[in-house]
Amino acid sequence: MKLKNETYDILKWIAQIFLPALTIFVGAVGVAVGFKQTDLIVIIMTAFDTFLGTILGISTKNYNSEREV
């Protein structure tokens, strides 16, 4: 599957900037208000961000490999 540059850039921003910041925010606010499921939510968000980052990394590797040929 090939991504358009704009789609890739948006997903990269989400994976590198938005999700890590949102995860920290959710963790801090969740603890501050005493939400019992904060740890579970932060773990799920971190796992999703790791998954997205891995997929984007593979996409970048494949794209660069195609350009070298």
CB 53 within 8 A of CB 18: no
**From CA 63, how far away is CA 29, in angstroms rounded?**
39
pLDDT of residue 66: 81
Q: What is the pTM of this model?
A: 0.85
**From CA 63, how far away is CA 26, in angstroms rounded?**
34
Q: Would you give per-residue pLDDT tens digits along the chain (69 residues)?
A: 677 889 999 999 999 999 999 999 999 999 999 999 999 999 999 999 999 999 999 988 888 888 776
CB 27 within 8 A of CB 42: yes
